[in-house]
Amino acid sequence: MDYETIDVTPLSGSIGAEIRGVDLSGAIGRETFSEIHRAFLEHLVVMFPDQHLSQAQQIAFARRFGPVMVDPFMKSPAGLPELMIVIKDKHETLAFGEVWHSDNSYLERPPLGSFLYALEVPAYGGDTLFANQYLAYQTLSPGLRRMLDGMTAVHNPLSYAKSISSGNFGAHRTMQLRNDAVMEQASRIETEHPVVRTHPETGRKALYVNPAYAVRFGGWSEAESRGLLEHLWHHAVRPEFTCRYRWSASALTLWDNRCAMHHPVNDYHGHRRVMHRVTVEGDRPS
């Protein structure tokens, strides 16, 4: 179906599209927003280059999709709890979230989508990879699909929290923790979600396990789960399921955490990268 109020250009054969012809800083009419939403559901990841957004305008656009949430671990600017500033400075070698993942999948209601706005980008590097989890599920063997359809996976943030507590986001880092009780908080969070979730808007099935937070299958030990989880993680990011986005300053990207994974590429040591992230709350996977 054609789009009448926006220009939509696919970035690959499997995932991602660039949207032009709309100014997100102004009022967005119902028809235009409906087409943006349709492109989002069709392409899983949509990029809006050449936007000039204040923090309030970015948050307001995200709220068109649903209630915004506050990250349980990372500190936000004063007075803007729903905004995360994602920074890697010139002297730093570790990047935030540098592994394939779906944001905050350990929550009871994981995010619907994440809105990342580029303020400063390096001269080269700092791209983000995205992977289509509809295709990851569809291309599994019929036998494996039948088995996974009835399974759950346990998600928790402990490995992420251990990385934080080891000093990766300590006082010497530009990004700061929300408080000093990261490990205590993380130890209390453990959620079980379907391995294959049904998208609440499209009705399509997507693989929903990621190497950052999925630690074992429901009723299985971690040792028993490891081999199959690793098989699924490798399968889920096959090149033909992915696209790679080269950021430009003032670009906003929105991705669907319910059916896509992403991986920021940490290949720009000695350069500064600054992003603003707003995250919209989703529903409980089913």
Residue 70 included in any domain: yes
Question: What is the pLDDT confidence band of residue 170, given thresholds at 50, 70 and 90?
Answer: low
| Token pair 């949509």: residue | 46
Supply the pLDDT for residue 186. Answer: 63
| Closest to 131 in 3D by CA, of 155, 105, 108, 100 | 100
Q: Which of the residue ranges 48-62, 169-183, 197-211 would you say has the lowest mean pLDDT?
A: 169-183
Residue 29 included in any domain: yes
Chain segment 93-129, per-residue pLDDT in tens: 888 888 999 999 999 999 999 999 999 999 999 999 9
pLDDT above 70 covers a percentage of the chain that reads: 90
**Residue ranges of E strands in the chain:** 7-10, 17-20, 45-48, 83-88, 111-120, 128-132, 152-155, 191-194, 196-198, 205-207, 214-217, 242-245, 252-256, 260-264, 273-281
Longest CA–CA separation in the chain, Å: 52
CATH for 137 = 3.60.130.10
Chain segment 133-156, per-residue pLDDT in tens: 999 999 999 999 999 999 999 999
Higher pLDDT, 7 or 91: 7
pLDDT at 8 over 70: yes
Residue 138 included in any domain: yes
For residues 15-19, average pLDDT: 98
Q: Which of the residue ranges 48-62, 119-133, 165-179, 206-220 would you say has the lowest mean pLDDT?
A: 165-179
| Closest to 211 in 3D by CA, of 238, 236, 185 | 236
Supply the pLDDT for residue 25. Answer: 96
What is the DSSP secondary structure assignment for residue 241, as one 8-state letter?
G
What is the reported pTM?
0.94
Question: What is the pLDDT confidence band of residue 46, given thresholds at 50, 70 and 90?
Answer: very high
Residue 178 included in any domain: yes
User: Can you tell me the distance from the alpha carbon of 271 to that of 268, in angstroms, rounded to the nearest whole number?
Assistant: 6
Higher pLDDT, 94 or 243: 243
Question: What is the pLDDT confidence band of residue 164, given thresholds at 50, 70 and 90?
Answer: low
Q: What is the set of active-site residues?
A: 101, 103, 262, 277
**Domain span at 117:** 7-281
User: Can you tell me the distance from the alpha carbon of 194 to that of 286, in angstroms, rounded to the nearest whole number?
Assistant: 6
Count how many domains the chain has: 1
Distances (CA, A) of 42 to 50, 134, 201: 22, 11, 11
Cβ contacts of 219 within 8 Å, gap of 6 or more: none
- Looking at every residue in the chain, the average pLDDT score rounds to 92
The tokens for 59 are: 């948050």
Secondary structure, 3-state, 75-129:
CCCCCCCCEEEEEECCCCCCCCCCCCECCCCCCCCCEEEEEEEEEECCCCCCCEE
pLDDT at 236 over 80: yes
Does residue 143 sit in helix, strand or coil? helix
Residue 2 included in any domain: no
Residue 120 included in any domain: yes
Does residue 174 sit in helix, strand or coil? coil
Residue 286 included in any domain: no
Cβ contacts of 132 within 8 Å, gap of 6 or more: 14, 15, 44, 241, 242, 259, 260
Supply the pLDDT for residue 73. Answer: 77
Supply the pLDDT for residue 189. Answer: 82
Supply the pLDDT for residue 181. Answer: 59
